[in-house]
Structure 1
């Protein structure tokens, strides 16, 4: 394991320990790492110091990691200069990965904030009424009628009930030869949870649409379609349905499962489809390819070339959106702002195109205000921003 991966792993272990969720095996790994050097113990102690990660505001500026580290690390800085000089040139970058646990432990976004803002210019905000997303969806019934589902409003049909946060379909099998479908469409600024008639749970992210039967046909494959967008599936095991497999289609691929948890991201404005396996097993296929995944793997289907690549990912980061956060690990600002635009229902314009490439690490609480999010970005990488109605302009 290279040094960067090692420090990223250690950062996650310290975060797990701080939250009380570390297991015995990981605790032993962390203990061994602490015994390796005084440098390691200094990093660990500084992070765990009472109030440290709460008192530092919100982001580490990547380009001044060494200066920032010196400011918050008097214990490590007391180690002899000779020892420090012997550290690898990019040790400060790796140490920042460990500092990142302060963000993980407190729910902050981007890197921790040890630096003065590069600009004290007051952002221009004109007629802004931007709020975080909430539970809402548009349900299209089998007869074509449309119902708006939203938090606080109950709705009931002969086959389903909704409390405004989720819709639950009654357990049952399709009796007629004709399959009856519903559509659930999540607008920008929305999210929703649906429990299908077989007990499968689906969490739908902003700007997504799911097509599914009101009830599945006994003895046949259970099939749904993610028309577009992002969804997390917790599939009811085939053993509970006489071996009936579960399939998720979209316009580019098919995912076949027996009973598992996975995430599919297939937005209309992106040329790649990402399938992330949390547990169990799935097979991702196209008209000419088929690729099996094991837990912690993600397939990337390039629609333009019809090719599939597979890599290991942090599944918690990839699926954190369904649990109230957005987690970013070395994501460019262009990709982050796509997520922000969908959740806050805004448009984003980059005046400075170089900003699109700037990468960040961190966690965004989905209930943070848009001003909080943009202020953090401003403190680390850009001169200013402007909000006009529902448009954000990054400068």
Structure 2
């Protein structure tokens, strides 16, 4: 492809004006240079073009132009660089293949006798005296120190007396919720999670909350706004100390590892015997079977995509994908053949899609044969 043709197609693609064949041609040209050193920099850097394409994808999702973002198989023998290239190509191909599930809905029988609902904003708030308030769309709630419109819970620092009273915010399977704490720290909670926190903080003293279980994304109010007070997040096996930063913690009860991913700033991750400092784009892993803290670089986009309304699976076994889907759709998923659970995929899915559409997509790439509902569970075959 000539330079002029590439730039013309790229501009049309970014404005959503290419047809299927033109988009595929652009994709193939870009994909062929992902692991090559022969890229013509006069076209723009590969990173710049990739970011523009990803922005176009995100815009398409928000505008409802896609229903399901198809999965691509992940081959364990593929080199890391090629796997990354395949992942990028898969992301870009969203606008090419978004009709896959729509065109094949009739290939698999519908799940009978049960409405499997898409997850939504909902939570329960447990007050210091044991009172439980249901928070969900269409229900408002207000007290002297907090208010909710059913989609988020906001604490008012001005009305919060200094003290040690704690609240619990619990998100069930099939839910997600946002809370802004009294110090203006913002927290997004994923399905099947619980956060314990004080209704007030005292400037100059350490601000501490506890992720009892589950997954949460923290955007911490800087210590400079609170007389230097640090912010700590406690989990079952670790403490995370921050000054002012953004990070994600995943500590589910049914998973053997706790993951902490740093997006911005600096955090110290510690347990009984070890302490490690994380830099942006690094992730710590602590196994529940030992005290070792392992650190590696990760793709932050993949790790925090749930907050943006996406599932991103990069080389993830189907059994782990099933856990994620089970939490969001509040239904159990099992495998008729346990070996199917070990098959790995790269893929991105929209959280606003029906579970049936997602399972249809997985079937269409020939990694499962069918699925059925049995005893209030989904059985993958």
1:143 deviates by 1.1
Q: Measure the CA separation in 1 of the matches of 2:237 and 2:79.
A: 44
Q: For 1:198, what is the secondary structure of its paired residue?
A: coil
- Indicate the residue corresponding to 1:289 in structure 2: 274
1:109-148 equivalences under 5 Å are: 122-123=108-109, 125-148=111-134
- Indicate the residue corresponding to 1:99 in structure 2: 89
1:271 deviates by 1.2
- Indicate the residue corresponding to 1:360 in structure 2: 345
- Indicate the residue corresponding to 2:29 in structure 1: none
Q: Measure the CA separation in 1 of the matches of 2:239 and 2:149.
A: 31
Question: What number of residue pairs does the alignment pair up?
Answer: 329
Q: Measure the CA separation in 2 of the matches of 1:90 and 1:243.
A: 42
Task: Say which is worse superposed, 289-298 or 125-134, in terms of deviation.
Answer: 125-134
Gaps of 5+ in 1: 1-13, 21-28, 49-53, 65-87
The reply to whether residue 240 of structure 1 matches residue 225 of structure 2 is yes
1:313-392 equivalences under 5 Å are: 313-380=298-365, 381-388=367-374, 390-392=376-378
Q: For 2:153, what is the secondary structure of its paired residue?
A: strand
Contact 2:145–2:159, Cα closer than 8 Å, also in 1: no
1:102 deviates by 3.0
1:6-85 equivalences under 5 Å are: 18=14, 33-35=38-40, 59=70, 62=73
Contact 2:272–2:291, Cα closer than 8 Å, also in 1: no
1:383 deviates by 0.9
- Indicate the residue corresponding to 1:79 in structure 2: none
Q: Measure the CA separation in 2 of the matches of 1:184 and 1:322.
A: 17
**Offset from partner CA, 1:225-250 (integer Å, 9 cap, x none):** 00000000000000000000000001
Q: Measure the CA separation in 2 of the matches of 1:224 and 1:105.
A: 41
Runs of 4+ in 1 over 6 A off after TM superposition: 29-32, 88-95
Gaps of 5+ in 2: 1-9, 17-32, 54-64
CA RMSD across the alignment: 3.5
* Alpha carbons of structure 1 residues 303 and 93: separation in structure 2 relative to 1, 3 Å: closer
